[in-house]
Chain A
């Protein structure tokens, strides 16, 4: 940073008549560049925005959440199995929302992991450069589809048509299963794209050594490339997991709004994000316990995704170190 301070250097003028030994001139500019200092200030401040945002998030969640925990004990919140903040008999056990999130996330991952990895292996190991150039952006478009459009798709098509009519599965109008499946479709590109990057980063020499030993492509992929890219692939899956946990609109539209311990995915259930969305639409007065409840659930969600993300960052760093 010190090199940036374009202060006036020792620009001396020689007093003699002859200019010969040339004075030691500084390459620095002779007058201060105020505009540049201003620009640098802006750049540093812009970098600081991310720190301010993090602090802002923590404060804006923590302060109302602490207010909530003054009225409801932490133990009751974390271990209670009944969530009825809007009934006359109010109970604040968050586990029903957590099971809702667990179910939708598990269903999403069990669809997205095999499909995403399959697509990634094909694109990274089998596809020609041209095929990859066409199919990769098309697959990534799946991640670009707005989540409300996915939600509508889950409610009017996946639930009633695909699951009920075509497959004969007796799902309710709002079901954890249809929400989870559509959620899975949404995170396929996340899993596929990052695992493809990890597999492409595996040095060519490893593959050639494998071919040289007589292994065919399938063996090379499964025994050499895949193990070598494990931590990158794990990071891709963990990132998909954090997307699935945090996604709001699909579960708010398709999973229903009954907060209950989810045991049957064919029925409806409410997730943490689903609760926040529906409570935000309700007219909870700022300053009421209802309002603080929102932030307590938000804080739990934030902590969960933060932990998941820390794991993902560690995994990514590990695979960067290897190659």
Chain B
């Protein structure tokens, strides 16, 4: 360093690129390689996971997987029909329950609650805590609640409620972020023209925040779609040989079916689990891709 102060200006740039201090000394290069490897490790595991699942599952990626019910004894003819239909039904129920409540709660915290409101602060602390509660605890809540009101716990409705409560904090947090990103001028302009706060929210703020809300909500739903832990607590859902046909019907979902098949000893059931995993992965990755596209499209437009 002392060299720098004594050297004249033209050569003053040199010590910065010199071997000892520059970006290309062995230490720095080694450090950068380590960083590269960390990132590469994550990506590599993702690729390996997808490839191995494909290799294991591809032989059973046939029509029977979609049309047949599961079987106790005959893995070559077993399918995930009940699980596919169950997943769709439960996720739709979850979405119908979680989206309006999540957006409304976020709108309250972001647009209506005063900074000093004690209620708002308690809600905020609760949301933060609920976001970190293990998924399986939500299953215990849903099971206990179903018992308390005298409903049967292994129903689509109970499953939807458990998953909706699970993803509610995620939706609230991402909706709040989206609302916060809407410029204050839009609200002020609307209020100045005589709109009520509720009209402002409904006609200005919410529409402007839709891309952000959509991204967060889609990611949250994709998480719910892959979640099995809370549903395990809802009782015997592992062997379902009928189509779910309503909110109070019994059901199973893809993750539960995969869990069940993966636990069997026969190799064919593991193949079947891998085939169902491909299907589940495809759905989850598709949802993630949609969310990322929405995010990228609207962040560049702004």
Contacts and interface: CB of A to CB of B under 8 A. Distances in A.
Interface of A: 1, 3-4, 6, 27, 29, 33, 36, 39-40, 42-51, 53-54, 56-57, 59-61, 63-64, 114-119, 121-123, 126, 133, 135, 137-142, 144-153, 155-157, 185, 188-189, 192, 214-218, 239, 242, 245-249, 252-253, 273, 276-277, 280-281, 283, 286, 294-295, 298, 301-302, 305-306, 308-310, 312-313
Nearest to B129: A309
Contact of B136 (A50, A246, A253): A246
Nearest to B15: A214
B284 A146 contact: yes
B39 A39 contact: no
A144 B226 contact: yes
Contacts of A286: 147
A47 B104 contact: yes
Interface in B1-40: 1, 4, 15-16, 21-23, 25, 27-28, 31-32, 34-39
A105 to B, nearest CB: 12
B241 to A, nearest CB: 18
A77 B223 CA distance: 34
Contacts of B28: 216-218
14 contacts: A33-B196, A50-B105, A115-B42, A118-B34, A118-B38, A122-B32, A133-B296, A138-B46, A145-B226, A146-B255, A148-B262, A148-B280, A185-B42, A214-B21
Interface stretch (B59-67, B68-76, B137-145): B137-145
A136 B4 CA distance: 39
Contacts, number: 279
A249 B226 CA distance: 11
A275 to B, nearest CB: 10
Given A43-B105, A50-B126, 10 more contacts: A46-B100, A47-B119, A57-B140, A145-B281, A149-B226, A149-B281, A151-B259, A188-B42, A277-B229, A280-B233
B43 interface: yes
B217 interface: no
Contact of A298 (B136, B147, B197, B223): B136
Given A144-B219, A273-B229, A305 B134 contact: yes
Nearest to B230: A248
Given A39-B198, A53-B141, A146-B281, A152 B262 contact: yes
Contact of B130 (A43, A53, A147, A215): A53
A135 B259 contact: no
Contacts of A306: 129, 132-133
Contacts of B172: 50
Nearest to B140: A298
Interface of B: 1, 4, 15-16, 21-23, 25, 27-28, 31-32, 34-39, 41-43, 45-46, 48-49, 52-53, 56, 100-102, 104-105, 107-109, 112-114, 117, 119-120, 122-123, 125-130, 132-141, 143-145, 147-148, 165, 168-169, 172, 194, 196-199, 202, 219, 222-223, 225-229, 232-233, 236, 238, 255, 258-259, 262-263, 270, 273-274, 277, 280-281, 284-285, 288, 292, 296
Contacts of A140: 288
A142 B45 contact: yes
A302 B284 contact: no
Contact of B140 (A27, A151, A152, A295): A295
B137 A126 contact: no
Contacts of B139: 280
B196 A6 contact: yes
Nearest to B166: A53
B145 A60 contact: yes
Contacts of B222: 144
Contact of A43 (B108, B143, B145): B108
A52 B52 CA distance: 43
A152 B233 contact: no
- Interface SS of B by simple majority: helix
A118 B112 contact: no
A287 B245 CA distance: 30
Interface centre among A27, A39, A53, by most B CB within 10 Å? A53
B45 A185 contact: yes
Contacts of B258: 148-149, 152
Contacts of B109: 47
A254 B201 CA distance: 48
Nearest to A40: B198
B226 A148 contact: yes
A53 B168 contact: yes
B42 A121 contact: no
Given A118-B35, A119-B42, A122-B36, A146 B280 contact: yes
B140 A47 contact: no
Contacts of B165: 53
A313 B128 CA distance: 8
Given A49-B168, A280-B232, A1 B114 contact: yes
B65 to A, nearest CB: 15
Contacts of B4: 214
Nearest to B197: A4
Nearest to A118: B38
Given A149-B258, A277-B136, A301-B137, A217 B281 contact: no
Contacts of B136: 246, 248, 273, 276-277, 298, 301
Contact of B238 (A56, A245, A281): A281
Contacts of A64: 144
Contact of B137 (A137, A218, A298): A298
Contacts of B32: 122, 126, 218
